[in-house]
């Protein structure tokens, strides 16, 4: 695994939702680095990726209330807390289990999902996440998430302490 600057040179074989992620970040002028890797299905694998990214790797939990009428995306450090059904992730965020990412909020145009961010995530210089697919990981400044990305995708967050 090697840290690369910006979008991949060649996009053949990459999913359109991953390319949309790079398009959004580039459009907003968000500088980012990425590392390509095999599918990251567990937090243990993500911790290996974290060593390369040197960023706060978040556990991203897609949650809902018992009635399945309210949906939340919770970003917390991987050392804390756990899930909504996979079909809701695909319906609202166009992502699958193992690929959950704050960047999936760009697909939630009707704001079904409330973003919750643990205060410890906000203290980090960088955010590390998937570009809506778990075969790549990227990092960008936490301030860019709050000041550029979330306003652009029309989502606000609630700061939580867990």
Q: How do residues 88-107 score in pLDDT, each as one tens digit?
A: 999 999 998 888 999 999 99
What confidence score (pLDDT) does residue 156 get?
A: 96
Rounded alpha-carbon distances, angstroms, from residue 86 to 24, 61, 91: 24, 11, 9
What confidence score (pLDDT) does residue 97 get?
A: 86
Comparing 22-26, 59-63, 148-152, the range with the smallest average pLDDT is: 59-63
Let me know: does 92 contact 127? Beta carbons within 8 Å: no
Report how far residue 57's alpha carbon sits from residue 137's, in angstroms, rounded to the nearest whole number.
10
pLDDT band at 53 (very low <50, low <70, confident <90, very high): confident
pLDDT band at 47 (very low <50, low <70, confident <90, very high): confident
Report how far residue 100's alpha carbon sits from residue 78's, in angstroms, rounded to the nearest whole number.
13
pLDDT tens track for 75-88: 888 777 756 888 99
Judge whether residue 61 has pLDDT over 80: yes
Flag whether the pTM goes above 0.75: no
């Amino acid at each position: 695994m090697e840290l690369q600057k910006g979008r991949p040179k060649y996009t053949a074989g990459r999913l359109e939702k991953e390319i949309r992620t790079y398009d959004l970040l580039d459009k907003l002028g968000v500088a980012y680095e990425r590392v390509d890797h095999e599918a990251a299905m567990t937090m243990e694998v993500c911790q290996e990726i974290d060593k390369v990214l040197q960023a706060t790797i978040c556990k991203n939990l897609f949650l809902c209330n018992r009635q399945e009428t309210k949906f939340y995306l919770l970003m917390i450090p991987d050392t804390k807390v756990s899930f909504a059904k996979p079909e809701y992730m695909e319906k609202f965020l166009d992502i699958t289990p193992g690929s959950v990412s704050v960047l999936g909020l760009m697909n939630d145009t009707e704001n079904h999902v409330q973003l919750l961010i643990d205060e410890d995530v906000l203290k980090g210089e960088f955010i590390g996440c998937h570009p809506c697919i778990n075969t790549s990981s990227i990092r960008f400044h936490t301030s860019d998430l709050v000041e550029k990305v979330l306003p652009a995708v029309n989502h606000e967050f609630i700061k939580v302490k867990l």
